[in-house]
A and B are shown apart, each in its own frame.
Chain A
């Protein structure tokens, strides 16, 4: 049956999170931005609510509510401050990567520390991107080589969120240099085995503290080999994480639209509210349609994963949702600034931050362009070529 209403439980979570976002995140968004981190007391509250664990199965220490509930949570948090979830414990791709790439035992071990309601300082990092493509072959420059029973990693990874806070990283490296993008491996590396080499000043998402690390003979704690085919597991991980990020874009789109709408109600020009001019009102109508449609596409993608629909279908839905949400968020952020006129350009008003965050979020995880390639490959019935459907640095380096 086609139905758009959350369950009563979901509705209750939604309202609680919305209230938290409104009273705690929204008023302090600028504070997090300046500090380059989400404040400790906020991380503490978030951790106590266990919100990051929504999509993690119960037998792995999570709440077992499914990806759809996680999407609802992420959307509402982002409505308060779309940057904040990127700087909150457990909200990065780390847990989903552990889930998709690890064995059950490995996943349990990696996820367990995040289940403790006291563990508000528990961060994990995803070390995926590299600043430059390999000059001669496809695949990462960072390599992982077997040394006795363990793996040793060498190279530099870039654009990692919460890099200074992370206690552990999941590092992607080249295992088989001849196999290109099919020759990747994922490794668990402790923070004390890597060196943080630099921090970035970014366009948006300031509170997530992006930086680079260097691995010089870093010993991996474990290798995550994926469930079934490794490349497919990685594609699945990016698709699911992309859906969570897309939910944040929906929250951003909605709040950018709502702020613009309120402004158009009260701001007067030529003797009447500017919203009473068609050029302005139609623009609002367009952004409203955009945000509402993107929201349902994102929910549908999460629903498909939760219901165990065929993987190709879930991948296509995810790709559609992510690409659409990225585009829509940029339009909503941009138009919200535009409708504010000069005031929108000033940092007194939050919309300029929303616009910057929208662009940055579009690069935080798989991009719209890559997701379009993924969707089309699925719909054309082409084999999924990792060089094409993974967010490889060759095409576009991304923030994680």
Chain B
């Protein structure tokens, strides 16, 4: 049945995060932006709150750790609930979602390709973080290979019971703090995707260290690190899925599968930031125009507001559709990319328009500091997890006959 109402649980999640966002997070968000870190005490509290909320259908746990055994023929709500959470959390502050303790983007590949021993070992450290918060990370991008994932150069060479890894990874979210990072490397660049291997490289492994921490336009409260591998010996036991997994092209697919699951989450975050800006501009118009003059005297502004809102809604509805498909265990690569492409665009436009609507004030750090921050935060949403252009490649390959590559 066609339906567009959130479940009671999703509404509750939404409302909880909305009030937390308004009363607790937003008042601190600018300080975090300046200190270049989400307050650790906040993360700890949030983590505890999340753990106590952990009911039978906790979206985050299910999404990242995939612990529950479910009947694959039965639809779930997990992904739909997760995008509701992602959107609201990003509405409050965009950096939190990316800084939350847990396996982060490293979760999906371990979940999708790891052996049960590996899952136990790598997810086990997140079971109890009362003593200390821990993170996982995902290392794919290199200085010379971003969108063109197939041409990564980080090498791995087998040597007895280990692989020797050499190379550099960059723009790694929480890369500096991560207890382990899923690192993609290649046995031979000439083999393309078939030569790629995914390893879980643990912090403290000799030859594995953190390079520079990036200074960014936005999402400044979230850590982005460069990682360096110099003759780093990684045990074969940390090769994700074991050696037999790589007799086919699956290494690359491991990297890509991550994106089908995470793109809708990132898209939902973009919608959340875009909505924050839209609502801000809408309230600004309410306060500064509505009482003093009739709408026809600012009809052009009103039309821009309407356009911002419906473009965000259009993006959101595609995001929802892509996760509803995931919840029904249907392939959703095209839809995930569609939601991501539309959301990035709509949200960037919303942030730009909001600043224009609020006028000079909109760009001043003192008056409308949040607007200025959202404007900086949003841009990367059309870049990471696949740029808008990459999304269009993914989509068009599924629209045109026999289009393998451009």
Contact = CB atoms under 8 A, between A and B. Distances in A.
Contacts of B296: 387-388
A147 B402 CA distance: 72
A281 B306 contact: no
Interface in B285-343: 285-286, 290, 294-296, 299, 302-303, 305-307, 309-311, 313-315, 317-318, 320-321, 324, 338, 341-342
A323 B324 CA distance: 25
A382 B77 CA distance: 36
A379 B1 CA distance: 28
A285 B395 contact: yes
Nearest to A295: B317
Interface stretch (A87-95, A208-216, A272-280, A355-363): A272-280
Interface in A282-296: 282, 284-286, 288-289, 292-294, 296
Given A289-B318, A296-B318, A276 B305 contact: no
Interface in A309-335: 319-320, 323-324
A57 B164 CA distance: 72
A282 B400 contact: no
A68 B3 CA distance: 10
Given A284-B399, A388-B295, A276 B406 contact: yes
Contacts, number: 160
B263 interface: no
B78 to A, nearest CB: 12
Given A1-B7, A2-B320, A324-B310, A285 B399 contact: yes
A387 B338 CA distance: 38
Contacts of A68: 2
For chain A, give the interface size range: 35 or more
A249 B354 CA distance: 29
A299 interface: yes
B392 interface: yes
A121 interface: no
A59 interface: no
A303 interface: yes
B5 interface: yes
Contacts of A293: 314-315, 317-318, 338, 342
Interface string A364-400: 0000010111011101111001011000000000000
Contact of B392 (A281, A324, A380): A281
B193 interface: no
B295 A385 contact: yes
Contacts of B310: 297, 320, 323-324, 372, 375
A282 B389 contact: yes
Given A286-B392, A289-B341, A320-B309, A380 B302 contact: yes
B307 A372 contact: yes
Nearest to A258: B399
B3 A3 contact: yes
B318 A1 contact: no
A4 interface: yes
Contacts of A278: 392-393, 396, 406
A364 to B, nearest CB: 20
B3 A281 contact: no
A4 B399 contact: no
Contacts of A369: 303
B341 A265 contact: no
Contact of B286 (A2, A307, A381): A381
B303 A289 contact: no
Contacts of A273: 400-403
B80 interface: yes
A93 B78 CA distance: 42
Most chain A beta-carbon neighbours within 10 Å: one of B77, B290, B400: B400
Nearest to A265: B401
B309 A299 contact: no
B296 to A, nearest CB: 6
A273 B402 CA distance: 10
A297 B399 contact: no
Contact of A2 (B4, B302, B303, B402): B4
A264 B313 CA distance: 30
A302 to B, nearest CB: 9
B271 to A, nearest CB: 12
A20 to B, nearest CB: 21
B282 interface: yes
B317 A296 contact: yes
Nearest to B316: A293
Given A275-B400, A285-B395, A385-B295, A297 B2 contact: no
Interface string B145-184: 0000000000000000000000000000000000000000
B217 interface: no
A106 to B, nearest CB: 31
Contact of B3 (A1, A10, A289, A320): A1
A303 B295 CA distance: 29
Contact of B406 (A281, A375, A377): A281
B6 interface: yes
Most chain B beta-carbon neighbours within 10 Å: one of A2, A371, A375: A2
A265 B400 contact: yes
Contacts of B401: 265, 273, 275
Contacts of A276: 400, 403, 406
A369 B304 CA distance: 10
A304 interface: yes
B352 to A, nearest CB: 18
Given A2-B80, A297-B317, A304 B4 contact: yes
Given A2-B324, A319-B306, A377-B302, A288 B400 contact: no
A239 to B, nearest CB: 14
Contacts of A4: 2, 320-321, 324
Contacts of B318: 289, 292-293, 296
B286 A294 contact: no
Contact of B396 (A285, A375, A377): A285
Contacts of A281: 392-393, 396, 399-400, 403, 406
B6 A2 contact: yes
B363 to A, nearest CB: 23
A3 B306 contact: no
A10 B401 CA distance: 30
A300 interface: yes
A303 B3 contact: yes
Given A3-B2, A380-B285, A372 B392 contact: no
Given A261-B400, A285-B395, A372 B342 contact: no
Interface of A: 1-7, 10, 68, 261, 264-265, 273, 275-278, 281-282, 284-286, 288-289, 292-294, 296-297, 299-300, 303-304, 307, 319-320, 323-324, 369, 371-373, 375-377, 379-382, 385, 387-388
Shortest beta-carbon contacts, A-B, top 8: A281-B396, A372-B306, A293-B314, A320-B310, A285-B395, A376-B302, A275-B400, A376-B306
9 contacts: A5-B1, A275-B396, A281-B403, A282-B392, A285-B399, A293-B315, A293-B342, A297-B313, A380-B290
Given A1-B7, A277-B406, A379-B309, 8 more contacts: A265-B401, A285-B399, A297-B313, A319-B306, A373-B306, A376-B309, A379-B306, A380-B285
